[in-house]
């Protein structure tokens, strides 16, 4: 009986651990997405390209968390959404390639790339 209880508790714990563990972000996919989708718009918008190395890791983390894009006119999340990818995929290879990726995974990937490419990150990066 004791063994059964122990096993059951173990099973429950492992389920909790699995659901609590964050998605393992793929910064390489984030880089592709950032350069192909985010930068392709910034480059033609009056703002111009935004290099990840212009902000620190903490600044990027706060930026993603605040989710206020373009001085608060819209959100960062909308640009990683499936709906946005669907709207541009005919002219954007990355949007087409990642058409079915869950929004949150793509946001985590972009955040991981920005963290790595930040001013004080492992590999300060430009946007192209
Ligand atoms: C459809 C065009 C477009 C897309 C796509 C886009 N941006 Fe932007 N972004 C802008 C414009 C326009 C501004 C400048 C707004 C201003 O200065 O008034 C901007 C500004 C920014 C800024 C400067 C700070 C701010 O918010 O004003 C950051 C950082 C940024 N974008 C990140 C991103 C990231 C990350 C993505 C991709 C997930 C993205 N953007 C996708 C158009 C875009």
Question: Quick one: tokens of 117?
Answer: 């490419």
Residue 127 near ligand 1, beta carbon < 6 Å: no
Q: Whole-angstrom Cα distance, residue 29 to residue 118? A: 16
21 C-alpha to center of ligand 1: Å?
30
Does any ligand 1 atom lie closer than 6 A to the CB of residue 64? no
Specify the residue with its C-alpha closest to ligand 1, atom 39.
38
Confidence band, pLDDT 50/70/90 cuts, at residue 2: low
| Residue 42 in contact with ligand 1 by CB distance below 6 A | yes
Mean pLDDT of the chain: 88
Interval 19-64: pLDDT, tens:
445 689 999 999 999 999 999 999 998 889 999 999 999 999 999 9
**Interatomic CA distance for residues 121 and 27, integer angstroms:** 12
């Amino acid at each position: 009986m004791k063994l059964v209880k122990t096993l059951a508790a173990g099973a429950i714990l492992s389920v909790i651990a699995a659901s609590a563990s964050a998605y393992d972000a793929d910064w390489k996919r984030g880089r592709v997405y950032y350069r192909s989708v985010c930068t392709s718009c910034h480059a033609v918008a009056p703002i111009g390209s935004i290099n990840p190395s212009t902000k620190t890791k903490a600044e990027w983390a706060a930026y993603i968390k605040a989710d206020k894009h373009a001085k608060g006119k819209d959100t960062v999340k909308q640009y990683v959404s499936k709906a946005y990818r669907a709207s541009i995929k005919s002219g954007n290879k990355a949007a087409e390639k990642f058409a079915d990726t869950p929004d949150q995974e793509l946001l985590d990937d972009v955040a991981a790339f920005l963290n790595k490419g930040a001013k004080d990150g492992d590999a300060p990066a430009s946007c192209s």
